[in-house]
Structure 1
Amino acid sequence: MSDDNKKQLFALMAAAEEQQKNIDQTLAIINKQQAEIESLHKYLPELAQSLFKESLNDARTSIESDLNNHATKTAEELKKASSGAMRAADAIKQETKALDWKHAFMTVGAILGACLLVILGSMFFIPSLDDIAERRATIAELDNQGGNLDIQRCNGELCARVMTKECNYGPSKDYCVLDLKD
């Protein structure tokens, strides 16, 4: 072998040895890190549980504090409302004592007046028994004469079915032939 080849061979061997050392150092670092990771894996459940307990305790403390604050505010508001209700009850008692016979007379008078208005209104808008009997008699008379009419209410007025093509009868030409029920 020539000297140049020997030099190159020695250089390659030196480079290979250096790379082998680097690989060994890297493997050592990897093994060390893996050991540290395994160590962390052992403590990870305990660490997670500890963190969970701490956060749960913090949340519980915060919630209890908020509830206490709200309970205190609610109790104060209830006290205010209670005192307001007591004042209102006292005011009602005083107003009740102040109500004399004049107020009672006015109230009874207003109620009687309203009842009287209802009675008078029903007298004018509800037909009497005589009116009902007269209407029934008219209907019976029409039935006896063969006038079985189709009668309805049209906008509050009494309407009968007629044949509009057979109109213009009578002296004023305002009568039409009736369209009787079948």
Structure 2
Amino acid sequence: MTLNLTPDELLSTTRAVRKRLDLDRPVPRRLIAEGPPLTEDIRRMNHAPRSTQGVFDGLRHLTDNIHRVPAFVIPAIEGRTDHASTAVQSGTWGSILPATWNFMLAARARGLGTTWTTAQGPLEPELAATLGVPYNEVMLAAFIPLAYTIGTDFKPAPRIPRDQILHWDRW
């Protein structure tokens, strides 16, 4: 199934869906593979104002139900940014972030929900060992639950008015 979304609808409604993941419906491997490749090392396994309470409620819901998530995407990139210069860090993250976001948009267009989490961070060496990833050479960039969504009637995320955040020539 592919949702008939305009580019604007796709971009404005692809956001964290922690409470709207359908935790009871499996995700076929072929759908994961259809998305654009993140990197050769992909592993399976906003500027938006919102209340801190809402974020923590969504996080708590996802944490309580993590065992029910049908699939995880763990984007990985060769090289590590531990103690790296700003130039090295920006180059590395500037590569993996857009690729991962493209995957998330492709998933959304197919009726799948994702949410970017950094849950792998504190346990990255252990997760890498479990997955057989050479930790000293490859960085696990995120931990992304993937599931069909409950409904498809997502509303655009609230945004700060553009004139309050867009700066020309100077801050």
Q: Report the TM-score, using the length of structure 1 for normalisation.
A: 0.15
Where is the helix percentage greater, Structure 1 or Structure 2?
1
Work out which of the two has the higher radius of gyration on C-alpha atoms and give 1 or 2. Answer: 1
TM-score scaled by length of structure 2:
0.16
Per chain length, whose mean CA-contact separation is higher, i.e. which structure has more relative contact order (CA < 8 Å, sep 6+)? 2
